[in-house]
Homo-oligomer: A and B are copies of this chain.
């Protein structure tokens, strides 16, 4: 058995790990720009599926075509407790925030085009009727805005980078959008303890770049890092790629500054790793999706930036082999293991289809692929551990083929085959996305069972007459977190009926979670009962009522 790569042998069983030539494994990222059509002839020549999955045209062009959320879900009714926006309201906000802080289509309908990007999500699944966007520049301004909204009974949607997938950060009806995008100050950084304090609107990638210059790392990383904001990350308890290594935000966030609906500023911006003085209230804001108040500042413990990052990309014959590989990786790579990602064959085919020019990491076809990342302080030690691990899983025939990145360019290139899936799926006609947690032994079975469910209803196939084109699964295997994606040629009620509650019931039976990291938003509001019992939902409602008695914060969503 040979452990090899497409563009050169990487590790042969006979070669000693120390001396094995580790050559270039894959080409640099060549992402197809959004909206570019792909050449079907090229795809066909490479043996890829030519089934007619449409690509989207650029977002702006079709904004008006997206069905309004209120039309898609006719049982959703606007809450009559909330006031309608008036000229007086707008005048107050303009006085408070200045022209720069207000996007107003209430008194100026011509500005509706400027409001629209705040009205819809990037998956083009949700679209509200918002007419006013507020962009406060400070915590004090957020406080004044919320107090006024609360007094006037104006409903509010907090919005960060608007990169969510569950419709949590856009209006359903005419809620006021409160965007944190102007709050971008890095407030402080302590180089001894590694504690970073930032405004809510700081973009994740910007914070990480700041830390990189100081030898530190932001303990969260996810595909949307170039757009998502830290306030939004905290509000949605984002999980991402390296939770396996650095743990969840519930552990790394040390403090939160938040504004309650009545304008009260909750200053819990602790910079200490240990502080046992009363209930840990900040935890409620982590993952509350803006329903209790608005996170305006975050204090977070940042780890040392690893000096060495290695990535291996493996091909495996079955999910059971992937499970075996994971157990071995945990045992052998232990403290340097920073990601263990799973991709099925279908998810990789979609990347190849959308990005036909990207060079494939492995030559042959495999049913499953795993991406393993290590991060450590000593390149020599880490490489030795990873090589020993690869030799071992190869010797035990757990892995069919594999490749090890040789430099940072190759590390990035390998990651695109995992991180690029979401974006590539976005180029198709439409996608039903489920972000779920399932105990590992049965994690992938959900993908097979969902495909079988759609087949049994005659809803999936190769021709244009089938609404669904493909069911794929990938995700953060190290965290038992699966992304189940159903690529469709068009959104279709029959597909929805076949999927729900089927998927949720399947998960509930296995004590899984219907939302691992993406949250509830609007998408999963009515399904929380599959993951939380009545007692807990009852307690949650009491907490919501304590913090937001008028219910103005992000209504129609969450619980």
Contact = CB atoms under 8 A, between A and B. Distances in A.
Nearest to A244: B273
Contact of A335 (B250, B267, B377, B476): B377
Interface residues of A, number: 95
A217 to B, nearest CB: 10
Interface string A184-218: 00000011111000000000000000000001000
Given A278-B532, A334-B376, A335-B376, A271 B193 contact: no
A140 to B, nearest CB: 15
Interface in A483-531: 511-520, 524, 528, 531
A243 B273 contact: yes
A327 interface: yes
A274 B517 contact: yes
B513 A277 contact: yes
A167 to B, nearest CB: 14
A110 interface: no
A119 to B, nearest CB: 24
A389 B539 CA distance: 51
A462 to B, nearest CB: 34
B271 A439 contact: yes
B513 A275 contact: yes
A409 interface: no
A288 interface: yes
A415 interface: no
A274 B516 contact: yes
Given A271-B511, A437-B272, A512-B272, A535 B265 contact: yes
Interface string A306-340: 11000000000000000100110011111110000
Contacts of A105: none
A96 interface: no
A287 interface: yes
Contacts of A272: 437, 439, 480, 512-513, 516
A86 interface: no
A266 interface: yes
B248 A540 contact: no
A420 interface: no
Given A267-B535, A272-B480, A377-B385, A520 B277 contact: yes
A16 interface: no
A270 interface: yes
B377 A273 contact: no
Interface of A: 190-194, 215, 236-237, 239, 243-244, 247-248, 250-252, 264-268, 270-281, 283-284, 286-288, 292, 303-304, 306-307, 323, 326-327, 330-336, 375-378, 381, 384-385, 437, 439-441, 476, 479-481, 511-520, 524, 528, 531-533, 535-537, 539-540, 542-544, 546-547, 558-559
